[in-house]
Structure 1
Amino acid sequence: MIEAATRVDAPEVIVDTAETYAGRLRHGWDGDPPHAFLGRVDGVAVGVLTIDTPTYDNRDVAWFEVEVHPDYRGRGIGSELMEFGFKQAAERGRTSLGFTQWDLPKADAFAKKHGFEAKSVEVNRRQDLANVDWPTVERLYAEAVEASKEYELLRLSDDLPEEMLEAMTALTASINDAPTDDLDIEDEVFTPERLRAFEVAQKGRDQRIHRVIARHKNTGALAGHSTVMVEHGRPHIAWQADTAVDRAHRGHRLGVLVKIGMLRWLREVAPAVELVDTWNAESNAHMIGVNDQIGYRVIARAIDYQRPADAK
């Protein structure tokens, strides 16, 4: 059902398999799984409502996704699911409601019908490794290496060593500097426990974590990182998670260094990977500039909407 809906709305987007979707429902991104509700008509699955209610931060927010099978659209099923979601959010004490939907006129009309306002745009980009312009990538990497002589790269797979956990927790929080546009949300709160929960969740989703980390040679400070997950069931697919640089270490091309460092390492550690997918806020000009330089192309756009729970 979800696959049928996505094929109509965003044909190039990678759709979950039954196994990866089950992993998402069991584990979430980092041990904070969503709630999912199935809509049926005469016993046939026709729609899905997914509600994320964060527990690490933004505990006032409930975030919705609504999918309706193309054959059953126009019958009010999406609206019923949304109204059910409003009730669920109220029962969980959530006062701010978010909704993500593909950037399509009908989806926009649906969001506005239910009182939502567009607050941010997210863009799905993809890098096809068979078409990478390696001479350009290697030139950019050499320039980044020249600009970051005070730093070295670490390559890590799977769980972080215990002695790096506190420093990586602080570095991970650098993602809060990424733009959130007009969304009314708090910064994410990261703890060592949350990073460990992320590792457990990715294993539960049958994905392997690979990290490239920039470390300052003299002080040992962790300055920047890029993280990618590779699916075991579909080893040609990799998912780009955070790429971020600590404020104190910016200006040394570290974002480019770790991003391309990861790309180069994937050829060794995960040679079956054929494509890497990433998401960025459309306003994140710096990271998008890096992605464009190394060959990413736009796959789809999604709109993040928001409204107060008590809006009329």
Structure 2
Amino acid sequence: MTTSVPFELRPLVVPASVDASDAADFVAMVDVRNEIYREISDNDDEAVTPAQLLPHFQPDPDNDKRSWIVLVEDQVVGRVIVDLPAEEGSQVAYWTVELLERVQGRGIGGALHAVVEGTARDAGRTVLQAWAEHPEPDAGATSERLAAPTGYGEIPLDRPARYFRRHGYTLEQVDRKSVLEIEPALPSVRDLLADARSHADGYRVEQWMLPTPEAYRESFAWAKSRMSTDAPAAGLEIDEETWDVERLARHDARFVDGGQTVLVTVAVHEATGTVVAFNELCSGVDPTAATQQMDTLVLREHRGHRLGQLVKCAGILRWREVMPRSSRIVTWNAEENRPMLSINETIGFEPAAYIGAWKKVLD
């Protein structure tokens, strides 16, 4: 594909540490990643440090990550990532192409997509899937809208949406990015926790900081595996994941080794002693930075007892003690996941942006 500006695509060197002699490209990649996310969201809620991100790029038996940096005039201006899940028989490749605004619209993105597609084909994958944030246009601007085929949520037909459609993708799902200002929500959270406890007979709350305590490793690993089967997926192809205590230990180590603080709040079914609902809150190394709410799930067979409300509220209150200087929590949910969104809205989360989930099936 012809571009209007020459660029270089260079395989990303993943160093042993951020202080290693070959770490410069990795550090530059993280800096550009943060700048790109700042351009999209106009904040640093998703900023990370190189040390925080490095463990997630190390070799992983659960996922084959292939990464490149994009350079224009010897300056890093973007990145490309293709993730190939290791589940047996997987046909999926997840990918990311991100560029600074100043080099967009010059044909580079199209050339990079050809690399993504070629990598997926060479790996025998037939389904490409990716996510992109689609900010609302400025007030007064007009924009065609795209509705999710689920009937829940829509996004503007903006540059990212046109990019996906140009390369043969369909919009499969819309996720809502929501933000909670913690301090003003605390009185409501305390009341909601008391309400949830009154409906959760036979369940108790347990909490820990990673790594996962031995007593809960097996049942928590099973609960984590259910994220791939019990969360709304619309028309996306999601491999059923197999989690055991070894995979859970690798997951935990990536966050601990990156210097992150992760609080896990679970509901334990007292009759069986197993984890049946959970919520994860995660910070970076900066105690004042925004908190990321990662996975939250209630196993299907245990729904109807307000366990989602229970683990979310108990987590927020404990998090306030652990990370009192983090003022905001950011989370993502499928627009059709009305039970979880209703809990978030009642707690005080407000919509901040919408994410499109895109899919292409290769010939």
The change in CA–CA distance for 1:216 and 1:47 in structure 2 (over 3 A counts) is closer
Q: 1:179 aligns with which of 232, 238, 241?
A: 232
- Counterpart Cα distance in 2 of 1:57 and 1:212: 30
TM-score between both structures, scaled by the size of structure 2: 0.78
Q: 1:150 aligns with which of 189, 202, 213?
A: 202
Give the residue type in structure 2 aligned to 1:285: R
**CA contact under 8 A between 2:230 and 2:299: conserved in structure 1?**
no
- Counterpart Cα distance in 1 of 2:209 and 2:236: 33
Q: 1:38 aligns with which of 47, 69, 73?
A: 69
What's the Cα RMSD here?
A: 2.2
- Counterpart Cα distance in 1 of 2:36 and 2:213: 41
Q: Does residue 163 in structure 1 map to residue 215 in structure 2?
A: yes
Residue 251 of structure 1 deviates from its aligned partner by 1.6
TM-score between both structures, scaled by the size of structure 1: 0.90
Secondary structure of 2:47's match?
A: coil
Deviates more, 1:289-298 or 1:179-188: 179-188
Mark the runs of 5 or more structure 1 residues left unpaired by the alignment: none
Secondary structure of 1:101's match?
A: strand
**CA contact under 8 A between 1:31 and 1:197: conserved in structure 2?**
no
Query: Corresponding residue for 2:332?
Result: 279
Q: 1:78 aligns with which of 89, 97, 109?
A: 109
The change in CA–CA distance for 1:185 and 1:279 in structure 2 (over 3 A counts) is same
Give the residue type in structure 2 aligned to 1:18: P
Q: Does residue 251 in structure 1 map to residue 304 in structure 2?
A: yes
Q: 2:48 aligns with which of 16, 24, 27?
A: 16
Q: Does residue 110 in structure 1 map to residue 163 in structure 2?
A: yes
The change in CA–CA distance for 1:212 and 1:70 in structure 2 (over 3 A counts) is same
Q: Does residue 188 in structure 1 map to residue 241 in structure 2?
A: yes
Query: Corresponding residue for 2:126?
Result: 95
Secondary structure of 2:69's match?
A: strand
Query: Corresponding residue for 2:342?
Result: 289
Residue 238 of structure 1 deviates from its aligned partner by 2.1
- Counterpart Cα distance in 1 of 2:288 and 2:178: 19
Q: 1:25 aligns with which of 50, 57, 60?
A: 57
Secondary structure of 2:276's match?
A: strand
Residue 234 of structure 1 deviates from its aligned partner by 4.1
Give the residue type in structure 1 aligned to 2:263: H
Question: Whose RCO is larger (CA < 8 A, sep 6+)?
Answer: 1
- Counterpart Cα distance in 1 of 2:195 and 2:284: 31
Secondary structure of 2:320's match?
A: helix
Residue 287 of structure 1 deviates from its aligned partner by 0.7
Q: Does residue 264 in structure 1 map to residue 317 in structure 2?
A: yes
Number of aligned residue pairs = 308
**CA contact under 8 A between 1:57 and 1:189: conserved in structure 2?**
no
Give the residue type in structure 2 aligned to 1:163: A
Q: Does residue 208 in structure 1 map to residue 261 in structure 2?
A: yes
Deviates more, 1:145-154 or 1:1-10: 1-10
- Counterpart Cα distance in 2 of 1:191 and 1:52: 21
Percent identity (aligned): 26
Give the residue type in structure 1 aligned to 2:219: A
Q: Any idea what the Cα deviations from partners look like across 1:89-112, whole Å, max 9, x if unmatched?
A: 122221211122222511111111
**CA contact under 8 A between 1:229 and 1:240: conserved in structure 2?**
yes
- Counterpart Cα distance in 2 of 1:58 and 1:46: 35
**CA contact under 8 A between 1:213 and 1:224: conserved in structure 2?**
yes
- Counterpart Cα distance in 2 of 1:235 and 1:59: 39
Deviates more, 1:216-225 or 1:188-197: 216-225
- Counterpart Cα distance in 2 of 1:180 and 1:15: 27
Residue 57 of structure 1 deviates from its aligned partner by 6.0
